[in-house]
Structure 1
């Protein structure tokens, strides 16, 4: 078993920069990520670099990967972490089998999970998340479909639509929960990062030149297969996300890419019993932490969007802060040099976070959006639990999400509630009339990711199993 000063979970901009900062202070650092290389969702490396345009995101990701390769950080890519214990032992599965290590401190930079508020037909083949669409476009150099309808809320709408158009695909329409006034209110805050604002405007210019219609303040209410295409029905909605009366519109597409924002990934910090709080603006449940990422548990740190949605630029600075704080707390010798780096990193994180928080507000779960989920619509797609089954459990007396989980199996599937947890909590809150804090969040369990017994034990025959000699009678 390997021993390190610090283990960092997550190789996105937060995790990679946390690892680099801690290593620069002389600490022995390991970084784990389930992807094949660093970069996370935003700076994801293409599978075939020559097949994908050399965008600004790719250049930033390439620089990050070069910095990691040149550093002393020990990297474990393609290693999903399935267990973390209270003494900061980390267990992962890699291409060559199990890996175990221990650390004096742990930095969790596990990113986010995409939220999709269920609607009729959301589990139909051809309906994918906006995040999945970006993986296809950025990593694989593939279009989501011959024609795509993009729906949901937040900046990924424009990003996916523009990159699809640039890749030669057709975007049938953009269906945006937000209204034009919502975007206008966010504009003054977005001026804090003119570079990111300019990128967004370039996306919308690409969309405008292609003649793609945008349906502001609209929501999806159903998707049905028609021959080899998808018939997508949309309706106007109010500011809370509820469909309102009026004409319904149906659009045909080959693919529907939909996403209703992001939720922080907190399974590790919940497993380690750090304090958490609920923040709708930050994306959901987040670990309580100070400005440098220190949680309520000693030597446990959080960084990036997993600590609250603020965007990739803020995540990078937050990662640097967490790495420096960890080095400071573990007694690194270069204290004065660490202190000189902390304030500039804090300034950068605050500046970038202003833009990120404006985008997070556009992606926040709208209080009435779940009201439109019909009784027979599946909410937990791992266990096929419907809205009607959830309502029945509430009627029978379920008052928190873990009680609901025990009665319905909602959240017990391979994703362990990462996909449905935020929506389930909102449904329960609205049915019981209590707060999100009162209904709670799913308890984290090991294994954190699905893992086969074979992956843990390897291949063997029964003849190879050592059998101890029987004790004498």
Structure 2
């Protein structure tokens, strides 16, 4: 078992910068990520053998990976962390089997999970998340489909549509929950990030030149198989995401890429019993933390979008903050210099986060959108739990999400509630008198944090290895 001063969980912008900041302060740092290289979702590295696509994200990712490789951080890529204990022992499985590490402090930088508000047919093969589409486009250099419908809300709509077009695919239409006015309200915040504004304008210009139809204030209400393609039905909706009267539109496509925002990944901080609060604007449940990432639990820090959705640039700055705060708390040398670096990083984070918060508001969960989920629509796809079953559980007395889990198995599948937890909690809260997400709570985190096979834990252990004691004399 190896010992480190700091263990960082997550190799995206937040985790990588947190690790580098702590290492630069003289601490021994271990970084764990289940991907083969650093970068996270935004700066994901191409798979081996795939040609580099270029672009700003690719260049930023390459720079991040070079800086991390040149730092003193010990990296464990291809490692899936399945357990973390209160004394900061890390249990993981990697290329060489099970591994165990300990640390004096822990920085959780697990990023986000994509939210999809269920609709009729959302589990049909060929319906994928916008985040999954970006993985195909950035890492695999594959099109989601020769023809794709892009739907949902937030900046990923334009990113996926533009990259699909640039890759030679056809985007049949974009169905956007937001209206033109919603996007215009983000411009003042984006003026502080002209690079993001230029990137967004390039995406929309690519979409415009391709002649792609964009349906503002529209939502998917149904997807069904139609031969070799998918038939999607779109409906106009109000500002809350609730479908309204109006002409339905039908779009045929090979693939439907849909996403309704991001939720912070808080499995580790919940497992370690740090305090959490619910913030719709921040994406959902987040760990209660100070401005530098210190949680309610000693020597446990949260970095990046786990502390609230703010975008990749802000996540990097927040990671630096968390790494420096950790170094200060562990007694690293030159505390005055570190404190000066903290103050600079705080200013840079606040500037970067302004644009990120504007995008997060576009992706915030809309109550009317959840109200539109039909009774027979599956909410928990791991356990096939429907909206009607969740409503019936509440009527029978399941008034918090962990009671719901016990009664219906919602959230007990391989994803451990990462996909359904936000929507299930919202549905329960819609029944409650005060509609409080705090009151219905969030799923308790349990190990294993990720699915893990017995073979991965046992390695080459066989029955022949079992010591058999001699029989006791009669």
For Structure 1 versus Structure 2, the TM-score category normalised by the shorter chain is over 0.9
* Contact kept? 2:231, 2:251, Cα under 8 Å: yes
Unaligned 5+ segments in structure 2 are none
Unaligned runs of 5+ in 1: none
Q: CA deviation at 1:467?
A: 2.4
Q: After the TM superposition, which residues 135-214 of structure 1 pair with which residues of structure 2 at under 5 Å, given as runs?
A: 135-214=135-214
SS in 1 for 2:23: helix
In structure 2, distance between residues paired with 1:347 and 1:471: 72
Q: Which moved more, 1:64-73 or 1:45-54?
A: 45-54
Q: What is the aligned partner in structure 2 of residue 273 from structure 1?
A: 273
Shift of 1:471: 6.1
How far off is 1:51 after superposition? Answer: 2.0
Distance 1:300 1:471 in 2: 50
Task: Supply the distance in 2 between the matched residues of 1:78 and 1:466 (Cα, whole angstroms).
Answer: 33
* Mapped pair 1:459 → 2:428: no
Name the structure 2 match of 1:293.
293
Counterpart of 2:341 in structure 1 is: 341
Query: What displacement does 1:432 show?
Result: 2.0
Contact 2:164 2:171 in 1 (8 A): yes
Q: Deviations over 1:218-268 (max 9, x none)?
A: 000000010100000000001000000121110100000000000000010
Preserved contact between residue 10 and residue 109 of structure 2 (Cα < 8 Å): yes
Cα distance in 2 for residues equivalent to 1:378 and 1:465: 45
**C-alpha separation between the residues in 2 aligned to 1:162 and 1:282?**
26
- The alignment partner of 2:185 has SS state of helix
SS in 2 for 1:382: coil
Matches within 5 A, 1:22-37: 22-37=22-37
Contact 1:11-1:38 within 8 A present in 2 as well:
yes
Q: Distance in 2 between matches of 1:179 and 1:406?
A: 40
Residue 322 to residue 470, structure 1, CA distance change in 2 (3 Å): farther
CA distance in 2, matches of 1:298, 1:236: 49
CA shift for structure 1 position 409: 0.1
Q: Is the 8 A contact 2:50 2:140 kept in 1?
A: no
How far residue 154 of structure 1 moved from its aligned partner, in angstroms, is 0.1
35-44 or 330-339: bigger deviation: 330-339
Structure-1 separation of matches of 2:243 and 2:26? 56
CA offsets 1:178-212 (integer angstroms, 9 cap, x no match): 00011111111111111111111110010011110
Q: What does residue 233 of structure 2 align with? A: 233
Distance 2:462 2:52 in 1: 46
The equivalences for 1:425-440 within 5 A come to 425-434=425-434, 435-440=436-441
Q: Tell me if the contact between 1:321 and 1:342 (Cα under 8 Å) persists in the aligned partners.
A: yes
1:60-118 per-residue CA deviation (whole Å, 9 max, x = no partner) reads 11111111111111111010100000000010000110110000000000000000000
1:147-171, Cα deviation, whole Å (9 max, x unpaired) = 0000000000000000000001000
- How big is the shift at 1:49? 6.7
1:386-407 superposed Cα distances (whole Å, 9 cap, x missing partner): 1111111111111000001100
Aligned residue in 1 for 2:415:
415
Count the aligned residue pairs: 473
1:20 aligns with 2:20: yes
The list of structure 1 runs, each at least 4 consecutive aligned residues, that deviate by more than 6 angstroms after superposition, is: none
Match of 1:449 in 2: 450
Report deviation, 1:461. 2.9
Deviation of 1:269 (Å): 0.2
Corresponding position of 1:398: 398
Q: Is the CA contact (8 Å cut-off) linking 2:402 and 2:443 kept in structure 1?
A: yes
1:69 matched residue in structure 2 = 69
Q: Which residue of 2 aligns with 1:304?
A: 304
**Contact preservation (8 Å) 1:190, 1:355:** yes
Query: Aligned-pair distance for 1:307?
Result: 1.1
Instruction: Tell me the secondary structure at the aligned position of residue 367 of structure 2.
Output: coil
